[in-house]
Structure 1
Amino acid sequence: MFGGVFTPCTLTILGVIMFLRFGQVVGQAGVLHAVLIVLAAKSITTLTTLSLSAIATNTRVKGGGAYYLISRSLGVEFGGAIGILFFTAQAISVAMYIIGFTEAFAVTFPNWSAHFVAIASLVNLITFLCVYVGAGWTIKVQYFILAVLVMALASFYAGAIADFSPAYLQTNLTSNFLPGENWFTMFALFFPAVTGIMAGANMSGDLANPSRAIPRGTLLAIAVTAVVYLSQALLLGCARPSEELISNNMVIRDIAIWPMAITAGVFAATLSSALGSMMGAPRILQAFARDEIFRSLSFFGVGSGFTNEPRRATVLTFAIAQICILLGDLNAIAPIITMFFMITYGLLNLATFYEAITKNPSYRPTFKYSHWSTSLAGSLGCLGVMFLVNWKWALGSILFIGGLHWFIRSREIESRWGDLQSGVIFERARKALLRLEVEAYHPKNWRPIIMALSGTGWTRSHIPIYGHWLTSGHGMLTLAHVVSGDIEDHAERRDRYEKVLRNFIAKEQLEAFPAVTCNALLSDGIESLIQCSGIGGLRPNTVLLGWPRDESKSEAFGANIRLIARMNRSILAMRFLSYRSEDPDADDGSDVDEHWKIPTGTIDVWWRGMENGALMMLLAHLLNRNSGWRENPIRVMRVVENEEGKGEVLKHLVELGASSRITIIPEVVVSSRPPSEVIAEASASAAIVLLGFQTPEEGKEMELYRRMEDLAGDLPRILFVDSAGGMALES
């Protein structure tokens, strides 16, 4: 966290703008407005870091930094567009830092000021050669650079305190803008200073634990550098008149008690930032090229040497930086970088907003301080500031992104990774069903689309109610009923049952759809419902039904679930010890209110492996997500026969909870007694118990029934689960 994220972020943030342009910002904007500029910039980067942290802790972060995170969320179209833009922004940043170094060099050695472009080009070449040969050594020297930076700041603070003047402070409180300048131009000049929040994320492929290091290191860097900039704004306004702050780019050096420390700090900060950008930009291009969004760029995806250095991409970065050195100065480059980074930050916030607002079950970040509202605020803030700073550049940048998005979409490039496109389409199903039909499926986008064989609803109200809890806000629920008989003879009866189901859904305020079919046999009705219900990607993937109440019905039940399993649907069978007898004409709903009451206790998942365990864990998580169930913790339990095996199994359960990002209480029971006795004792006070089972072969229905009844014992609420797959806990 400290070496891989905090230090490079801090070195990049406290760089060329702080040493060479922040005095001008304070001189023109005044102390009060300068403080507002810092706070506004820090607010945007803080909101963006919250979004960055959420996505970084929701997926395994590989190389490519913000490009990787955005592309894996918003999809290949935005990923391709942002890949080009973000790489370009980082490459231009190299030129900005080198120009800043050269300005400081020219002020320190006036005799060389006539050779500005030559010096900047030489520094660019040296930076390129250092990174091309091998970037590993630059990471090791960053602590020395940080020490130089701290020494430079200490020298400035000491000098500013010694030169403190109340008169200067009074005159510098208000703004003193030059012709053509305003608050927003000063914001555009300053904002590139805070764009260093991506320095750690850009090296994500080299971090040992990026999901932990990126949030902590980046937020700490933002906090520390905010204190530095706010205190510096006050001290600059107290130490020199506005005219000197505006005209003298090296005013910080003149204020310091040891000017050489500032010179060393400028050299160290600008060169380290240039090296950091020269290292980060090629890695973004390399990751982008390896995704093969544009085949013509695959040349830059090739790595060199044991450390897989992106040398081809480094050559291109050098060329772009050199062109910027020849064409522009620091004041011209800064607004361009502002736009590019604003778009990157805006899309990163937008990606997190979509992840959260679509309620994708796979969106389970371990970072808990991001909300869809903060992501939306960050995205809108970036967009607003872009237009306020320079509406022409903002419009041009947005059109550029839109054009790239349209171009990639028109080529129908398919991503090879899971993203939330299917989740967004799910929420906008009215207009997007056809597109959802052709979307490449990925376990990340699995949602519970449950068909509940609920009778009329009133008769077995526990089934639709639990179906609602398992799908509310995350999936879809269909309440299904099979009317026995021929459709020609029972069409009116079928319509009546559908009306009863609609009334039940409306009265109980369920998020569900009714489905009624007429068939001579129950098995034919189930088959018809499963095959014909839904449309496109919204077809049922799970069937919820009641567990038979007595052994005489076990054979028919086994035949029905075999039919469901053959159609590759997951099976959920609910066993409740107390519910009313089924009367097809009953509709009073006298037991409905009882089933809406949340039972006390834990949600117990008895783990026997991934075959059914993945679905059981996800169902427990979805149940726990309901507001009424949040006080019911999830326990994942397993039985071992001896004490020696307990530690290894417990470790496995802990790792399972961490990798799935589901908060669980792991519990291992050591016992040689029959499993039914262990389960009955350990889960006696559970709110609901999830047990896995396998669909029986023909002729073994009664054997399954007896075995599961023995395991369930007198437990009041059991959910038996037979998974057909299609989901992954690590997604």
Structure 2
Amino acid sequence: MAETGPAPRRFGTFAGVFTPTTLTILGVILFLRFGDIMGQAGVLRGMAIVLGAQTVTLLTSFSLSAIATNTPVKGGGAYFLISRTLGVEFGGGIGLFLYLAQATSVALYVLGFTESFLGAFPSLGWDSRLVASCVNLGVFLCVFAGAGWTIRLQYGILAVLVLAVLSFFAGALPLASLHTLAANLHPAYGKGSGFFPLFALFFPAVTGIMAGVNMSGDLADPGRSIPVGTFTAIAFTGSVYVGMGLLLSAVLPQGELLSRGFVVRELALVPGLVNAGVFAATLSSALGSMMGAPRVLQAFARDRVLPRLAPFARGSGKTQEPRLATLLTFLIAQGALLLGDLDAVAPVITLFFLVTYATLNLACFLEGVTRNPSFRPRFRWHHWSLSLLGTLECLGLMAFLSPLWSLLCLLALGGTMVLIGRAEILATWGDLTSGLAFQRARASLIRLEKEKYHPKNWRPSILALSGGAWNRNHLAEYACCLASGRGVVSLAQVLLGDVETLGTHREEAERLLRKHIRENGLCAFPVVVAEEDLGRGMKTLLQCHGLGGVRPNTVLLGWSEDPKRRETFFQTLRLARRMGKSILVLRYDQTRSREEGIVPEGPLSVWWTDPQNGSLMLLLAHLLRQNPLWRDHPLRILLTPPPQADRESLVTGMQGRLEKARIDGEIEVLPTEDPEETLSRTLANPGLLLIGFAPPEEEEEEEAFLARMASLLALPGDLLLVCHAGHASLEA
């Protein structure tokens, strides 16, 4: 997905971050619900609620600042930061949740304004839903006109809000009493209330840290403005909440805090200023959310994560205002207004934001703990332990607030991520998942290097000398089936020519091989080397391919009738044998009919001639049958002793081996003086036959080896010649 150009940026720290963040935090909860919260929770638990919520936002702000100073920040706020860190699936899932949380927050603030307005003018007798709808429409029109107009409007709102807070302090401070404060230390919960329900009601008050971040596309210097503006706003608003909470508890007994309603206005020096302040606070918070939510949706749509949202990517005017996304936000907020009230909407928003904060902290924690070299934030006060603490705190609070709804929320997030993942969207930005996978692989490789090898831990690590796999795809498919998801398969190709001049061709060949692997659904890795001749290329592969404990332990070749390749073929066999690799040679019968892909009709047969090669043949046959396409093929163990041999003891011994190996198979004894001729008659409907062999150790032995193999190669069906290096054990 191509990145779109950034929208024009013009706002500084104060206008773009501090102002919207402060106005959203000092909102509806402060004036309409804070007195009730302090009355029920008491001073100690009330301060714990305030400090606990502030701790969540503070820890999240550390993570937010680290990520914001580590990458060029464009429009989309927290969605942009998460998607460019955790990747398209995580970013897409959180983007939708964050957008819905912001859009629903508009309804929360509009409901708060409506409640305060009708409380201030009870004689009007207007319908609350009608007032809320009109206010929502007014907020929409202000934002629809453009962010610049809204920002200028918020300067005046901030001034009124500060005057309202000062009016409260001026009126309440002379009435404060330490005796009253001491009497209000402990909680007086109402019916159905408690610490966590009150926390859920209060928490939306501090979610305003996203208001500034969501303006990231309109900031002149987001890497500086986001940390400075966010922390300044948290410090300022935190002081206001602590001060107001202590003053409320020091002026009125708990019973009066609960019963006197709009207590902040009653205690203010100039009550009219508090009315104006609460109007300003609720309207500014609604404006901030109505500005931020569409920008999240616009950024999400521009990434084309979900094609149906593409119309919302469009911007209007020079500043690329997301007007269509703003219209949708208005409609979602209007729907929430018609369905809920303030106390019902707040806990839902709390869960949405906790999920977003947990994910943001998780992103920063994983970037730090995996030591990603590209994670170099200029924000100096970050450490991955703070992000981990923030993640755990968010998840813990979700579990305490509502285990069921938290679980459903996380399941919905997971479902969205799966849906986006199945769409196989190719993102042009990096993500954390690849870095995390690298770190896990690194740790596992180091551990494997330290571990002492034991046959119990043997897994097939197959180097398939398939050349251009599209020419011999059967070899690649057999290699993957033999690994059966338990081992590692590498498909190797040798480019012939001068190494210095084949660099570009080698990269292109590897790209084509990787494309072939992807299109055919093969679980394999491509490896291409350039050498002057085929023999030297094979030596390079056998000696250098692999890393630590995942170096190939098995080499798979195709049998070739081409005399020109005979010398290279035998050189490869000898080199693999001397390097302690097990050897598999596949003779693919192209005349046989196939059910699907490489799978032939007929049973899977193992010709047991010696325990050394036989143990690997049984293991490979067992692994083949773990594949769905091979599962219904019966496994036969063919014994071809001389006619005078003790048949019963042979069967008993073989059954004992199978029992120890925990492998099921049918034993078939074929007494004969001519095993090849007997096998030819027995394999009337062959599938795959595994045969043990010993490759020639010297060039002088090659002709004799070919003569011995001639009768075997005349057998019908697919043949897999197996030479075991001794690493695997049936009894392990």
Once the two structures are TM-superposed, the CA of residue 147 in structure 1 deviates from its matched residue by 1.3
Alignment correspondent of 1:329: 341
- How do residues 180-579 of structure 1 correspond to structure 2 at under 5 angstroms? 180-429=192-441, 528=540, 532-534=544-546
Alignment correspondent of 1:718: none
Q: Which amino acid aligns with 1:103?
A: E
Select the residue among 146, 153, 159 that pairs with 1:141: 153
Query: In 1, distance between residues paired with 2:280 and 2:369?
Result: 43
Alignment correspondent of 2:109: 97
Query: In 1, distance between residues paired with 2:407 and 2:394?
Result: 13
Q: Which amino acid aligns with 2:78?
A: A
C-alpha distance after superposition, 1:386-435 (max 9, x if no partner): 111111221111111111111111222221211222111102228999xx
Once the two structures are TM-superposed, the CA of residue 535 in structure 1 deviates from its matched residue by 6.9
Once the two structures are TM-superposed, the CA of residue 526 in structure 1 deviates from its matched residue by 13
Query: In 2, distance between residues paired with 1:216 and 1:292?
Result: 32
Q: Which amino acid aligns with 1:173?
A: L
Q: Structure 1 residues 45, 526: closer, same or farther in 2, change over 3 A?
A: farther
Q: Indicate yes or no: 2:173 matched with 1:161.
A: yes
C-alpha distance after superposition, 1:112-142 (max 9, x if no partner): 3441100000000111111112231110122
Alignment partner of 1:417: what SS? coil
Q: Structure 1 residues 409, 237: closer, same or farther in 2, change over 3 A?
A: same
Number of equivalences: 453
Once the two structures are TM-superposed, the CA of residue 199 in structure 1 deviates from its matched residue by 1.1
Query: In 2, distance between residues paired with 1:82 and 1:272?
Result: 25
Query: In 2, distance between residues paired with 1:431 and 1:535?
Result: 13
Q: Structure 1 residues 527, 241: closer, same or farther in 2, change over 3 A?
A: farther
Query: In 2, distance between residues paired with 1:432 and 1:295?
Result: 38
Q: Structure 1 residues 520, 209: closer, same or farther in 2, change over 3 A?
A: closer
C-alpha distance after superposition, 1:474-513 (max 9, x if no partner): xxxxxxxxxxxxxxxxxxxxxxxxxxxxxxxxxxxxxxxx
Query: In 1, distance between residues paired with 2:332 and 2:164?
Result: 31
Q: Which amino acid aligns with 1:4?
A: G
Q: Which 5+ residue runs of structure 1 have no aligned equivalent?
A: 434-518, 540-731
Query: 1:425·1:432 contact (CA, 8 Å) conserved in 2?
Result: no
Once the two structures are TM-superposed, the CA of residue 296 in structure 1 deviates from its matched residue by 0.4
Once the two structures are TM-superposed, the CA of residue 31 in structure 1 deviates from its matched residue by 1.0
Q: Indicate yes or no: 2:29 matched with 1:17.
A: yes
Alignment correspondent of 2:15: 3
C-alpha distance after superposition, 1:66-94 (max 9, x if no partner): 00000011111111101110000000000
Q: Which 5+ residue runs of structure 2 have no aligned equivalent?
A: 1-12, 446-530, 552-732
Once the two structures are TM-superposed, the CA of residue 30 in structure 1 deviates from its matched residue by 0.4
Query: 1:29·1:183 contact (CA, 8 Å) conserved in 2?
Result: yes
Query: In 2, distance between residues paired with 1:533 and 1:136?
Result: 59
Query: In 2, distance between residues paired with 1:255 and 1:366?
Result: 45
C-alpha RMSD over aligned residues: 2.5
Query: In 2, distance between residues paired with 1:299 and 1:531?
Result: 55
Q: Which amino acid aligns with 2:315?
A: G
Once the two structures are TM-superposed, the CA of residue 531 in structure 1 deviates from its matched residue by 9.4
Q: Indicate yes or no: 2:88 matched with 1:76.
A: yes
C-alpha distance after superposition, 1:25-73 (max 9, x if no partner): 1000001111111111111111000000000000000000000000011
Q: Indicate yes or no: 2:184 matched with 1:178.
A: no
Once the two structures are TM-superposed, the CA of residue 532 in structure 1 deviates from its matched residue by 4.4
Once the two structures are TM-superposed, the CA of residue 524 in structure 1 deviates from its matched residue by 6.5
Alignment correspondent of 2:74: 62
Report which of the two structures shows the higher radius of gyration computed on alpha carbons. 2
Once the two structures are TM-superposed, the CA of residue 328 in structure 1 deviates from its matched residue by 0.5
Once the two structures are TM-superposed, the CA of residue 341 in structure 1 deviates from its matched residue by 0.3
Once the two structures are TM-superposed, the CA of residue 111 in structure 1 deviates from its matched residue by 2.2
Alignment correspondent of 1:32: 44
Q: Which amino acid aligns with 1:423?
A: G
Alignment correspondent of 2:608: none
Query: In 1, distance between residues paired with 2:146 and 2:422?
Result: 39
Once the two structures are TM-superposed, the CA of residue 233 in structure 1 deviates from its matched residue by 0.8
Alignment partner of 2:127: what SS? helix
Alignment correspondent of 2:64: 52
Once the two structures are TM-superposed, the CA of residue 527 in structure 1 deviates from its matched residue by 9.3
Q: Which amino acid aligns with 1:53?
A: S
Query: In 2, distance between residues paired with 1:411 and 1:532?
Result: 37
Query: In 2, distance between residues paired with 1:59 and 1:160?
Result: 46
C-alpha distance after superposition, 1:586-636 (max 9, x if no partner): xxxxxxxxxxxxxxxxxxxxxxxxxxxxxxxxxxxxxxxxxxxxxxxxxxx
Once the two structures are TM-superposed, the CA of residue 243 in structure 1 deviates from its matched residue by 2.2
C-alpha distance after superposition, 1:245-275 (max 9, x if no partner): 2234411000101000100100111111101
Select the residue among 119, 142, 156 that pairs with 1:107: 119
Q: Which amino acid aligns with 1:93?
A: S
Query: In 1, distance between residues paired with 2:380 and 2:129?
Result: 48
Query: 1:54·1:365 contact (CA, 8 Å) conserved in 2?
Result: yes
Query: In 2, distance between residues paired with 1:80 and 1:197?
Result: 21
Q: Which amino acid aligns with 1:376?
A: L
Q: Which amino acid aligns with 2:57?
A: T
Q: Once the two structures are aligned, what percentage of the paired residues are identical?
A: 58
Query: 1:159·1:256 contact (CA, 8 Å) conserved in 2?
Result: yes
Query: In 2, distance between residues paired with 1:272 and 1:35?
Result: 25
Query: In 2, distance between residues paired with 1:318 and 1:126?
Result: 10
Q: Which amino acid aligns with 1:171?
A: A
Alignment partner of 1:141: what SS? helix
Query: 1:107·1:113 contact (CA, 8 Å) conserved in 2?
Result: no
Query: In 2, distance between residues paired with 1:530 and 1:78?
Result: 40
Point out the more displaced range, 303-312 or 413-422: 413-422
C-alpha distance after superposition, 1:158-195 (max 9, x if no partner): 11112223443232111000011001111111110000
Q: Indicate yes or no: 2:111 matched with 1:130.
A: no
Q: Which amino acid aligns with 2:335?
A: I
Query: In 2, distance between residues paired with 1:375 and 1:273?
Result: 27
Q: Structure 1 residues 248, 535: closer, same or farther in 2, change over 3 A?
A: farther
Q: Which amino acid aligns with 2:46?
A: A
Query: In 2, distance between residues paired with 1:247 and 1:299?
Result: 50
